């Protein structure tokens, strides 16, 4: 839920967004986001904005994350559609811009547009900060989009992920994915997709193939429900089957952190040819595991006290 007022160029400033445990549960607030839009262009795009995310109290303690976002535009058609040339997000702990509280910097650059102003090629660089408050490159992700429809959704994506060493040097490809996005919701979240993952961009070694169906997305874009069938070969026959999972994310924060998740694994799955549904039968259910994370660090990693999560075999 968000509230705001209208200012220059009919744009909202500021805005307050309240994130609940799930859309139907107005009694359980997970966190609140105070969004301050500093300036706009004539198309309603925010050049600069600050976002303060405040979590609800856990054991008497609240967590604060402050983000600054700066966007630039250099293509008029893309600008009219809200597609930036560069977008830089810097994350701090606490409630303000303080150098000693630097956490992470992410810079996304659009390297190529199509004739309709959609991003065809993008590069995202993620850096963390060392003890001297200097950014150290951690990861580089390049994305090539194809078959972009009238709504700006890419139906084919080629994603290369490279990781650096501890000094932020010598990036090495750790994953190459070919993603087929078949269906989207009105918020551009992918509901039906196939992800083929290789260990290198030359596609010499296949890691796995996943068919994924997602539903009920939160404001962070995290799916509340997912069915995933994993295979060892592109043919995706019964002999290639590895496992299937049904994931129910019951509690999701605005940063995409999942507080409570229940995962049921299956020894078999069926892909329906007509509607593409993944059919999971209770007969093939193997285990059910509930994972509860009460604390996260400021980069989204779990810092909950170590304790066993419930994992039960299904007879």
Cβ contacts of 284 within 8 Å, gap of 6 or more: 244, 266, 267, 268, 269
What pLDDT is recorded for position 304? Answer: 53
What pLDDT is recorded for position 159? Answer: 97
Angle 242-245-250 (CA atoms, 0-180°, nearest 5)? 160
pTM of the model: 0.84
Q: 283 phi and psi, to 5 degrees?
A: -65, -35
pLDDT in tens, the chain (315 residues): 444 444 455 555 678 877 776 555 555 777 788 999 999 999 999 999 999 988 776 667 788 999 999 999 999 999 999 999 999 999 999 999 999 999 999 999 999 999 999 999 999 999 999 989 999 999 999 999 999 999 999 999 999 999 999 999 999 999 999 999 999 999 999 999 999 999 998 999 999 999 999 998 877 778 889 999 999 999 999 999 999 999 988 777 655 667 788 999 999 999 988 678 999 998 899 999 988 875 555 554 555 544 445 566 665
* Residue with the two structure tokens 């285990």: 287
What pLDDT is recorded for position 157? Answer: 98
Kindly state the tokens that stand for 143: 């994305």
What pLDDT is recorded for position 280? Answer: 93
Kindly state the tokens that stand for 214: 């997602």
Cα gap 43→38, rounded to integer Å: 15
SS (H, E, C) the chain: CEEEEECHHHCEEEEEEEEECCCCCCCCEEEEEEEEEEEECCCCCEEEEEEEEEECCECCECCEEEEEEEEECCCHHHHHCCCCCEEEEEEEECCCCCHHHEEEEEEEEEEEECCCCCEEEEEEEEEEECCCCCEEEEEEEEEEEEEECCCCCEEEEEEEEEECCCCCCCCEEEEEEEEEEEEECCCCCEEEEEEEEECCCCCCCEEEEEEEEEEEECCCCCEEEEEEEEECCCCCCHHHEEEEEEEEEEEECCCCCEEEEEEEEECCCEECCCCCCEECCHHHEEEEEEEECCCECCCCCECCCCCCCEEEECC
What pLDDT is recorded for position 6? Answer: 42
């Amino acid at each position: 839920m968000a509230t705001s007022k209208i200012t220059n160029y009919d744009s909202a400033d500021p805005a307050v967004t309240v994130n609940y445990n799930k859309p139907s549960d107005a009694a359980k607030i997970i966190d609140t986001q105070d969004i301050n839009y500093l300036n706009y262009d004539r198309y309603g795009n925010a050049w600069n904005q600050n976002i303060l995310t405040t979590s609800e109290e856990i054991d008497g303690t609240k967590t604060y994350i402050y983000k600054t976002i700066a966007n630039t535009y250099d293509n008029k058609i893309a600008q009219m559609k809200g597609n930036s040339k560069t977008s830089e997000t810097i994350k701090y702990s606490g409630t303000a811009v303080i150098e000693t509280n630097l956490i992470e910097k992410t810079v996304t650059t659009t390297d190529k547009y199509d004739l309709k102003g959609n991003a065809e090629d993008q590069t995202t660089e993620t850096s963390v900060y060392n003890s001297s408050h200097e950014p150290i490159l951690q990861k580089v992700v390049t994305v090539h989009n194809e078959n972009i429809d009238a709504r700006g959704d890419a139906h084919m994506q080629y994603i290369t992920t490279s990781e650096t060493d501890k000094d932020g040097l010598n990036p090495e490809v750790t994953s190459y994915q070919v993603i087929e996005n078949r269906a989207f919701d009105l918020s551009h979240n992918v509901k039906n997709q196939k992800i083929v993952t290789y260990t290198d961009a030359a596609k010499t070694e296949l890691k796995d193939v996943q068919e994924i169906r997602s539903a009920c997305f939160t404001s962070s874009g995290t799916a509340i429900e997912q069915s995933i069938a994993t295979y060892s070969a592109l043919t995706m026959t019964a002999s290639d089957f590895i496992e299937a999972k049904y994931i129910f994310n019951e509690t999701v924060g605005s940063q995409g952190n999942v507080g409570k998740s229940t995962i049921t694994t299956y020894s078999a799955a069926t892909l329906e040819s007509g509607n593409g549904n993944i059919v999971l039968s209770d007969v093939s259910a193997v285990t059910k595991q509930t994972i509860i994370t009460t604390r996260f660090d400021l980069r989204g990693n779990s810092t909950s006290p170590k304790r066993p999560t419930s994992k039960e075999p299904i007879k």
